[in-house]
Each structure stands twice: as C-alpha cells, then as structure tokens.
Structure 1
Amino acid sequence: MENFENLGLSRLVLDNLPGLGLTKPTPIQAQGIPHIVAGRDLLGLAQTGTGKTAAFGLPMLTRLIAYGKRPAPKEVRALILAPTRELATQIAENVTAYAQGSPIRVFRVVGGASINAQCERLARGVDVLIATPGRLLDLLERRALNLSETRYLVLDEADQMLDIGFIHALRKIARLLPEQRQTLLFSATMPKLMEELADSYLTDPVRVQVAPPGQAAEKIDQGVHFVNQGDKAALLAEYISKHPGELAVVFGRTKHGSDKLAKLLTNWGFSVTAIHGNKSQGQRERALAAFRAGEVEVLVATDVAARGLDIPQVAHVYNYDLPNVPENYVHRIGRTARAGRDGRAVAFCAPLEVADLRAIEKAMKRAIPVIGGEPPFELPAAAMRKPGAKPQGAKPQGQRGRGAKPVGAKPQGTKPAGAKPKPAAAVAAEGGNRRPSRRPSRRPKSEQSARAAGL
C-alpha cells in the first residue's frame, strides 16, 4: 500500500493530509492503520520519529467520525495517554490538525495548567482527550469527566510511562474504562513489564513491529567523545561553536544540573533555554516555542524532552550526561534526523559513565564510534559505577575537582570577546547529588516520583 487512499480512512481525514505533508504512509502506518480501522487491538513497536501518532490518530478519527454522535456532558469517547506534557501537546496538535473540518472535538489536559479551566471544558464532553496520567487522575478525583463510555484507549510511549512510575496510575484508570473497548499500545522498546502490560490491556492484539526495539534511526551520525566530567562544559561549548545557526538539544541527567549548564552557556554568549519537570507549563511551552522559532539555538533538557519533541530543524543532539535507562539514549538522539533529514548525535562519556555507555551499546546491539578523547581503561567491577548509579566516593584518577581549570580548547565563535569559561560553574553544571526534601505522601512511591517530575 503506497498511499493513504488505500488504508480505509475517512474522506474528511484524507483531505487534510496533503496540507500536513503526509503523502505516503510510513511502515508503521501502512501496516497498522487497516487493523485499527477494522477494530482490532494493536501492539505497535517502532522507533521514535516513525509516525506513530498518525498510525493511531488517523484510524481512530475515522471510527469516531463514522459513529456520528456527539459526546454527552463529561463524556470522553477516546482517551490517549502520554507520559509527558510535551508529548501530550505534540499529540494534541497533530490530532487536531488531522480532524480539521470534522465535528470531532479534541482536548488536552496536563499538569501545570489551570485545573478549573480544564474541568469547565470537560463539562461539555470531548471526542478525543489527550492526557498525562497524573493530571487525569486529579480530574477523575474531582469527577470532572466520565470514562464509562470511552471506547478507544491509546497508550503512547508506554515503556516510558512504566519507567517513570505510572503503572499504578494506569491500573487505576483501567478500572474505570469499559471492558468492551479498542486498545492500542505503542512503544519503542519491549521490556518484560511491557509484555505484562500488553497481556493485561489488549485482547487478541495484532502485533506490528517495523524495526527491532531499541534501534536508532539510520540517518543519525553517532559518536562518543571520552572526557573528564569537569571538562564537559568547555567541550560542549567547543562543539556548539563549530555549528553556528544550527539547532541543538543538550540532554542532562538532573533538573538542577540542566539549569546550571544553561546559565553557564548563556554566560559564555550562547543563545540557550532550558526545560525540565520543575518548570511550569507556561515556561516549558514558551521555551519550546522560542526554540522551534529559532529564537534560541540551544535547548538544555532532561528526559522530559526525550519524546514528543518534533522539531525537524534540530541538527545536533548532545548527551552531556548519559541516561540512567539505556533505551532512553535512542529516544534522546531521535530528536534529530526527523522528517527525512540527517542528524548528528554526540555522547560525552566520563570515566564513571563507561558502564552506562556499554549498557547503551548492548541495548542497541552496536558500538558507538569513538570520535574524540582517549577511551579509558575498562575499570574493575568494584570501581565501575553500575548503569544509572550516581558517582560515589573519590573521583577517578585524572578527573579534576571543583575549581580546577578545564582542559582543552576554549569555546570559540559565539562567546563574547574576552570571556572565559568559569570552571567552578562548569563543574557545578554536573548537577550534584543533592535533592530537595519532599514531604511524605500516601501515594505509591512510583506515582510520587512521576508526579514530582511534573509529568
């Protein structure tokens, strides 16, 4: 099937596709859409950036249009759950564009926005509700919506929802949904817990897998640069300076560290903004809007931006800190090489991150080419940090401490004349190990962590 006309989609939906640049279905769309139109449950496995939103959005709209009846007050016809605000926003924008000119009403609810305004909007009923699990539970507790007539459930990026602790929230929501429904589960990876989730939620599903789970897009030019932790900031500035005018996403591990790094780069003369779970919804949306418009060229982010950030102009992804979860590396670098473009991804690996690097390579079943620095010795098991663990004890030999001058070339090009990197701030940009204290909660720990992240 080489075009959307042959996939059984509604004419109202088809008429919108050319204007959105959708002329030929991707593999996940071509294989998945006919089954969804036919009413089958579906488990879709595809890497990030392969068009999963259209794969479930277009056929779901087709079925809702055919139903031909408006939802009652507080009623939700179709529910799409996403792990982060950014992904929920991206889905809502796409589904709204697909439904243009149809009677379908689309609404998005996420944390950080006025819950009273969301309650007022839901009172009129919606055809398609896109939500993060935490905010949906808040609204359900207020009895602002009714899921008893919800006939379509989509779990997008389900593996990430499990990673950040939404499993308890998903179970609560599932109990409120009717048994007779169509369920679609989309994921880029398939850990064991995902298989259990699929068995619990799906009924005789069709499995569509268009690429091995955990594989990165072919058009991404990947590389790893070995560097001491204290020298990362200066090295990052050097890389960014080589590509003026090109958009870059920099991924850090912590909220505090991402803020510190963004401030440091700003002081060095770069155009930078940052997003993470501690930012308000308005701050996150304004930051992304400025980045998308090219008003700022560097976005420093935590993994809240690892999925749902669809900006084709992103040319570079820098993993300033390697991710805790190996599979997240693939999602991070998937922010580049979108819409058929090429992209570049560079991972900075400090001596204590070697185990994280090896875990990433094992998950991808391929080695990442070394493009800079000297590969460290494979440390003894007792000295090597486990993947995702925080540094403890003494610094590895050769790593410079707080206040030491960074090694190597100073950033060139966009920094102000005469400005010098502030080594102490560069080290502080690592994020540290200190966390703000939290009051005890009666919620399950996994749900606490997800809500605390602002998702």
Structure 2
Amino acid sequence: MTFDKLELIEPILKAIEEKGYTHPTPIQAKSIPILLRKRDLLGCAQTGTGKTAAFAIPILQHLCNDARPEKGRRKIKALVVTPTRELAIQIRDNFTEYGKYTGIMNTVIFGGVKQGAQTQALNRGVDVLVATPGRLLDLIGQGYISLRDIQYFVLDEADQMLDMGFIHDIRRIIDMLPKRRQSLFFSATMPPKIVSLAGKMLGNPDKVTIKPEQATAEKVEQSLYYVSKKAKPKLLIFLLKIQEIESTLVFSRTKHGADKITRVLKKAGINAEAIHGNKSQNARQLALGNFKNGDTKVLVATDIAARGIDVSQLELVVNYDLPNIPETYVHRIGRTGRASASGNSISFCDVEEKPYLKDIQKLIRQELPVVTDHPFLPGGVEDVAVADEKPQRQGQRKRQGQGSRSSKPNNSGKKEWRRGGSGANSSRRRPQKKSE
C-alpha cells in the first residue's frame, strides 16, 4: 500500500512526499483509515513504529476539511499530550512538516523554560497544541489556555506518563475536555492502570496493536557483552575506538551515571555529551542538536530524557546499564531501528544484572548473542588480579583443582586471555590502577 491509496488530501500528500514517505508503516496503514472516519482509537505500538504520523496526518486532514472563517484568534482544536519535552518538540516538528501546505498552525509548550515565548504563541492563536502535562495545567490555571473547543485529543506514550507520575494530571486534563471529541490513546504496553485510563478516556474505540514486544527487536542486530561493573568504562571506550562509529546513543540507568560516563569518554578523547532531567532545557536541546548534526559522536542519556530522540541513521545503541524493566530494553534499541530501518545494539551485563537479562530475553523471546572475544571478560586479567590479592585457602584450591576461582564457568576464558591474548593486557599479570 502507498500513501496515495489512503484518501489523503493533496496538501498533505505533497508534504509527506517531500519527506520521502511512499509506503505507510503498519500502524499508519491500519490507523489512518480508522481516524479519517473519526473513530476513537486505542493503539499499542512501541517507539519507532511511526505512530506520530499515524495520528498527525488524520488530524491535519480533519482540521483542513473543517476549516471555517473565524473572527479573532484561532482556537485550539487539537491537543496532543506527551510525557517529555524532547518528544513534545519532535511531535510539534512533525505537525509542522506534514502540515506545511495546509495553513494549520501549531505550537508546543513544556516546563523547564520561561513561559513568555510560549504564551506569546498561544496569544497569536493556534489550531494544534502539543504539551507536557505540568506546563499545560499551569497555563490553563493562568487563563492562557482553554480546552472547551478541543475536537481531537491524543494521549501519547501513556505508559511512560504513569512511570513519571503524571496519572493524576492526565485525569484532570481529561475531565476538562468536551464530551464530544475524537480521542486517540497510544501506549507501548497495556498494564491494568493503562487499561483503566483508556476506558475512562475512550468510548467504544477501534483497536490497533503492532507487535509491541517483538517488532523492533527482530530487526535490530543485537549482541551481549558480559563484563564486570568496574570494567564497563574501559569496554565502552575499547568498542567505540575500534568500531569508529559516527553516532552512538549510550543508555545509563541514572543521571549521575550518565555524567560519569561522559567524563570518562571525554578523558579518553571521545566527543560525548550527556542528556538527562537535571540538565536545563537549553543544555538538553543543545546536546541533542549537536548529536543530530554530527558534532557530537556519542550521546549519553537516561531513559526519560531519551524519549523523543529521533536521529535518522543512528548507528548504534549501547545499553551500558541493563534496564530493570524489560519493555524499556525494546524502547532503547528501537532508537536505532526506526520505522522500517535496521539497526545495531550492544548490551553490557554484569553479575548483578543477570536477572534483568533473563527478563529481557523472555520478553523478546530470543537469547542475545554473546560476544566472548573481548579483553574485558569477567575473570579476565583484571579480575584475576583481584582474585590474586585475596587468595583462597589451600583446602578450597584442592577441591577446585585449578588455582583460585578456576571453578567459575568462564575460567577457560580467563586463562586464554592471560596466555593467548595480544597487546599490553596479555603480557602483564596485574593491571595498573587507573581512575575511572
């Protein structure tokens, strides 16, 4: 199927053709016809499947077809609520691109910045508003925004809303909306709270599910590196230098960890920046802009900040820390498998993260291929040095039969690297201690 078979109006077809779109993704092909009939929709689709176009294109077409001469400033007729600033900006940009020939006006509002520029845009009048929940409620309270004219409402990344504690804000927003409206609800997963929220927001919706758990994982080339927590920085530097990749997104579980990884990479001569919730909005946008235009080769991000990062031809995603929620793994690697594109991902796993790995592999229904040919295997030269500093009792050695720690499953790997490796690591017993 091609876009010209979806009964889209000429201004929108022209815009998406300029974007290079010819064939809709599965969620677009299934959702657009439903939404053009003004049906409510409950969509289960992960990040990277093309769902922004799936809801933006029909909304733009409805607004175009419904356009009537208005006195005074434009009234907000379509509202999209999404959890993060980056994702809100991305959605606004997509509305601008798809609607460039329609005359439909939009703006975006989010917290973390002064509200002056946002309220000025609202005062000029817009048809489509993209917003994060906190700033939306704030400006409603100040009288800058009214929801009484909303005809089309989209709640995007609903599961992430719950993770970020926005559930009460969302319920307040829904209560302010007109009863007669078209509602669209998108979530990557459907836990009970999400189902309950969808039931309150939607009447008798059509439903579209696009393989939310496996689609991205199937088209991304994945690999797993077992490594001690201490050796992770060195392994990351090693891989980035030998692979000479132009764009790498590294995921850290914490904000502090993201900053630490960035410092280590910079010290090693690798151009890197961090993006997380403690950074100012200007700093986040600058780092993201540098990454998109290629000035920064490595972007280190937390999961919350990474929502909305949409970089074409992103070469590699690195799970420096495995996520403790398995669905998050699919979202992460989906950064490098956008829409129909393929991608690559690397995951590090230390001993404490093995339960997370088990949950991830159960979710994606496949085992991650393990890479054993690297100098930082657990029990390699560095771990052996640690073991030698804490020798075991003679009775333990006798029972094991092969020196310290040789009963570990990866003992052969330790000896092979110490004796058969190459380079500086293979010729020394104890590595020099370096600050990380």
Interval of TM-score (by shorter of Structure 1 and Structure 2): 0.7 to 0.9
Alignment of 1:240-389 (within 5 A): 240-338=240-338, 340-372=340-372
The CA deviation string for residues 197-247 of structure 1, in whole angstroms up to 9 with x for no partner, is 211111110101122435434221112211111111001111111221421
Displacement of 1:125: 2.5
Amino acid at match of 2:26: P
- Structure 2 CA distance, aligned partners of 1:240 and 1:279? 25
Please tell me whether the aligned partners of residues 47 and 214 of structure 1 are also in contact (alpha carbons under 8 angstroms): no
**1:422/1:206 CA distance change after superposition, 3 Å:** farther
Q: By percentage of residues, which structure has more helix?
A: 2
Q: Cα offset for 1:39? A: 0.5
Identify the residue that residue 30 of structure 1 maps to in structure 2.
29
Query: Pairwise mapping of residues 130-149 of structure 1 onto structure 2 (< 5 A)?
Result: 130-149=130-149
The higher radius of gyration belongs to 2
Amino acid in the other structure paired with 1:200: K
Residue 75 of structure 1: CA displacement?
A: 3.4
- Following superposition of structure 1 onto structure 2, how do residues 153-192 of structure 1 map, counting pairs within 5 Å? 153-192=153-192
Conserved in 1, the CA contact under 8 Å of 2:213 and 2:330?
no
Counterpart of 2:127? 127
Gaps spanning 5+ residues in structure 2: where?
A: 380-404, 409-416, 425-430
Q: Measure how far apart 1:307 and its partner are.
A: 2.7
Amino acid aligned to 2:5:
N
Would you say the 8 A contact 2:245–2:316 is kept in 1? no
Which residue pairs with 1:198 in the alignment? 198
Distance 1:317 1:214 in 2: 17
Counting aligned pairs with the same residue, the percent is: 46
Residue correspondences, number: 389
User: Structure 1: which 5+ runs fail to align?
Assistant: 377-396, 399-406, 413-419, 426-455
Q: Report the TM-score when normalising by structure 2.
A: 0.84
Structure-1 separation of matches of 2:378 and 2:25: 39
TM-score w.r.t. structure 1 length? 0.80
SS in 1 for 2:124: coil
What letter is aligned with 1:338?
A: R
Q: Counterpart amino acid of 1:3? A: T
Q: 2:330 aligns to what SS in structure 1?
A: helix
Q: Deviations over 1:270-303 (max 9, x none)?
A: 0111100111111111111111111111000001
How many Å separate the matches in 1 of 2:176 and 2:34? 25
The CA distance in 2 between the partners of 1:162 and 1:307, in whole Å, is 14
Q: Which amino acid aligns with 1:343?
A: G
Paired position in structure 1 for 2:151 = 151
Give, in whole Å, the separation in 2 of the partners of 1:71 and 1:124: 13
Residue in 1 that maps onto 2:398: none
Q: CA RMSD in A?
A: 2.5
**C-alpha distance in structure 2 between counterparts of 1:86 and 1:29, whole Å:** 22
| Preserved contact between residue 228 and residue 378 of structure 2 (Cα < 8 Å) | no
- CA–CA separation in structure 1 for the residues paired with 2:296 and 2:315: 14
Secondary structure of the 2:335 match is coil
Q: Which position in structure 2 is the counterpart of 1:11?
A: 10
Corresponding residue number in structure 2 for 1:222: 222
Q: Quick one: structure 1 residues 168 and 65, their matched pair in 2 at CA, closer, same or farther if it must change by over 3 Å? A: same
Q: Structure 2 CA distance, aligned partners of 1:164 and 1:10?
A: 38
2-side partners of 1:115 and 1:125: how far apart? 16
User: In the aligned structure 2, how far is the partner of 1:251 from the partner of 1:225?
Assistant: 15
Work out the CA distance in 2 between the residues paired with 1:140 and 1:247.
40
Distance verdict in 2 for CA 1:269–1:410, change over 3 Å = farther
